[in-house]
Structures are given as structure tokens and as C-alpha cells.
Structure 1
Amino acid sequence: MSRSQDGAGEQATGKVIEQRGLWLDEMEVGTVYRHAPGRTITEADNTWFTAVTMNTQALHLDAAFAAGEPFGQRLVNSMFTLATLIGLSVSQLTQGTIVGNLGFSEVAFPKPLFHGDTLYAETTILDKRESKSRPGQGIVTLEHIGRNQYGDVVAKAVRQTMVFTSDHAEREAAGRAESAG
């Protein structure tokens, strides 16, 4: 299926704008993106994620146990925090333009996230380059920072991802037009 999932855009009579992330050539090193909206994390979110990933850490599940630990309450699973931090960036940066994630480094959780906290995300483009072996694709290095509603940094990660260039998009559109004609 093409990037326009249901083909509805092809039948529209007016101007059509398809929501997508950025192509490699649209990304500028040093640019900071503040993603909206934030995401308020619920007890159900944390319990579900912890259960589905089989992480039975009592700090996530057992309120009585967690009450006796240094933070005095259950912590949001850090992998849920990381996944949500990255997820908050998708619509603005990589929706429909990503080839795949290549890896993560410098992952840190300086402060905990608790039930009821809201996670806000921002991303800085640290580096980008065209792929030497994959025409129409390039590698981008992104730094993601997650803050709670008080502005405290609760998560940080550097991610390398492969994204398409706008040339790739033009070739793909030309190929679709040719096969339709």
C-alpha cells in the first residue's frame, strides 16, 4: 500500500496535505523540536506495560513494597517512559519517512516518573548524512529529552535512525503514477 493508506487523497477535489514526518533533506542539524501534546501517564498504562513485557519488578506493581523504598511510591517502568518519549516525536519527525531505527545510546533516567505525571518531549537533530550504500536514504542522530510537568528531566536518549530522502519520495510517487497509468 502506498504512503496514502486508503487512497482517499487521490479522490479529493481540493488541496490535500498528507501528514508525515521529515525527509532527510528537511532535517537541519541543531534544530530543536518541541512535540505536543504531552502524555499523562496513568496507573493502568504502567501496570499494562509492566505486565505485557513480563517485568515483574515490585517497584512498578506493588504499592506497599514501593512505599518502603527511597521514592515512597511506585515508579513508572523506565522502558515505558523511553517508548513514550520516542513515540511523542513520531508524528512530527518520522511518520511515514523512517526506514528503521538503528540503535540507541546514552539512555538515562535522571529522575523517576510517577503515575499522574505528564511526559513532554523535545528532540534535537545532532547529525545527519546520506547513506553510502542505500541511495535515497540517510542516517540521522537524534537526542530525545523527556521532562515531567515540573520541567524536570526524567529521560534522555540518543537515537540513530535511517530515513528516506525527498528524492526517494519523488521516485516512489512516479512509480505509483506509472503503475496506475
Structure 2
Amino acid sequence: MGLYYDEMEVGQEWISPGRTVTDYDILAFATLTSDMNPIHVDHEYCKTTPFGAPIAHGFLIASLAAGFGARMGIAEGTIVANLGISWRFQNPVKAGDTIHLVMSVKEKRPSKSRPGEGIIIRTYDVKNQRGETCAIGEVAATFKCKPTD
């Protein structure tokens, strides 16, 4: 079971294990989403860009972050609904980079419209092997309050 609204505190933090992004990951995501922009899939083209090599799609990184968060188990059985997500992409992720998630509680407040639930805003900070932030997001969600029985 995950954590209830009442069990999370502002500033609380969790760190996921790392995962190395591969060329296959980038190509599979490009194929799945039909986003075959050369910046993601064309090695020769990318040699002419400031990146020098294909970069992962921002939404691939956001999707991996969602998976990192899910595997932590914090919301398992206690999350009610995601309310909104925003992302900023700050540094490119290339094949061979190892990324991990630093997730923290930014804000919390009781739900005004749904008794027994509270709203948690979590920060998702995706870092690479050098400790640089690659992507940073905020995820707002409703969570169940701890049963009182």
C-alpha cells in the first residue's frame, strides 16, 4: 500500500534507482508516437546540431519519470486521480545517459470538494549521471486520507 495524504509531508523526498537510456528506447518511443523528427533518430543529421547525437524526446523522459515514480509505490492504492502535470526540459538526454528521479512533496492541502481526500503537488526532478537536472515537472494529484476506523 502506498502513502496516504496524511502520511506525506512538505519537503519529503524519495530517490529512484537509475536507468540507462538506449538508442533502442529513443527509436521505440519515436516509432510508438510517430515522432520521427531527425533530432531524435538521425545520427548524421545530429552531427550538425549543437547536441552532436540524437536526443531523447522530452516526453520519453517524462514517461520514464512516471514509471520511476510508480515503482516507488508511494501512490499505490492511495492515489485517486492526477489533476495536472507540467514539465520543463532543461538538459538533453542522449543514449548512454543514466537518469533517475528525485521526487518530493512541494505542497499539500485538504480537498475542499471531496471529504476524505487531499491534494498533493509533487516535484519530479529527473537528473542524469552528472547530477544535472534534465527535466523538472510538477504533478498535482488527489490522494486518499488515512482511514480513521
- The TM-score normalised by the length of structure 1 is 0.77
Q: How does 1:111-122 map to 2 (within 5 A)?
A: 111-122=91-102
**Higher relative contact order (Cα pairs below 8 Å, separated by 6+ residues):** 2
Question: Percent of counterpart pairs with the same letter?
Answer: 33
CA drift at 1:121 = 0.8
Question: For residues 114 and 95 of structure 1, what CA distance do their matches in structure 2 show?
Answer: 31
Matched, 1:32 2:13: yes
Matched, 1:59 2:33: no
Q: How does 1:1-181 map to 2 (within 5 A)?
A: 20-35=1-16, 37-92=17-72, 93-105=74-86, 107-167=87-147
CA drift at 1:151 = 0.9
CA RMSD of aligned residues (A): 1.5
Question: For residues 75 and 24 of structure 1, what CA distance do their matches in structure 2 show?
Answer: 37
Question: For residues 116 and 28 of structure 2, what CA distance do their matches in structure 1 show?
Answer: 39
Larger Cα-atom Rg: 1
- The TM-score normalised by the length of structure 2 is 0.92
Contact 1:21 1:91 in 2 (8 A): no
Question: For residues 72 and 33 of structure 1, what CA distance do their matches in structure 2 show?
Answer: 33
Question: For residues 33 and 22 of structure 2, what CA distance do their matches in structure 1 show?
Answer: 17
Q: How many residues align?
A: 148
Q: What is the DSSP-based 3-state SS (H/G/I as helix, E as strand, rest coil) of the residue aligned with 2:18?
A: strand
CA drift at 1:149 = 0.8
